[in-house]
Amino acid sequence: MNAAKSETLAAFARWRISAILRTDNAGVAREAMEAAVAGGIRIAEFTMNTPGALSLIAEFSSRPELVVGAGTVLTAEQVREARQAGARFIVSPVCDPLVIAEGNSLGAVTVPGTFTPTEMMSAHRAGADMVKLFPMPGIGPQYVKFLLGPMPFLKIFPTAGVTVDNFLDFLAAGAWGVGMTTSLFEPEDLTAGKLHRIRRRAEEITRRFKEWGGAAGS
* Cis omega (within 30 of 0) for bond into 135: yes
Burial degree of 169 (CB within 10 A; 0-12, 13-18, 19+): middle
Architecture of 3-211 per CATH? Alpha-Beta Barrel (3.20)
Query: Given a cut of 80, is residue 196 above it in pLDDT?
Result: yes
Q: Please give the pLDDT value at position 217.
A: 45
DSSP 65: T
- H or E, element range at 179: strand 178-180
* Active-site pick, 5, 102, 132, 155: 132
Give CA–CA dist 25/136, Å, rounded.
26
What number is the average pLDDT over the span 87-102? 98
Q: In sequence order, which residues have a C-beta less than 8 Å from that of residue 129 and are 6 or more positions away? A: 5, 9, 89, 109, 110, 111, 155
Q: Is 45 a catalytic residue?
A: yes
* Active-site pick, 45, 188, 203, 210: 45
Residue 42 Cα distances to 17, 102, 194, 218, angstroms: 8, 25, 21, 9
CB-CB contact of 104 with 81 (8 Å): no
List the domain boundaries for the chain.
3-211
Query: Given a cut of 60, is residue 96 above it in pLDDT?
Result: yes
Q: What is the dihedral of CA 147, 108, 215, 193, to 10 degrees?
A: -100
Order across the sheet with 89-91: list the strands: 109-111, 89-91, 67-71, 43-47, 17-21, 178-180
CB-CB contact of 71 with 99 (8 Å): no
Per-residue pLDDT tens over the stretch 150-191: 999 999 999 989 999 999 999 999 999 999 999 999 999 999
Residue 216's pLDDT band, with cuts at 50, 70 and 90, is very low
Q: Is 145 a catalytic residue?
A: no
Q: Please give the pLDDT value at position 25.
A: 85
CB-CB contact of 174 with 153 (8 Å): no
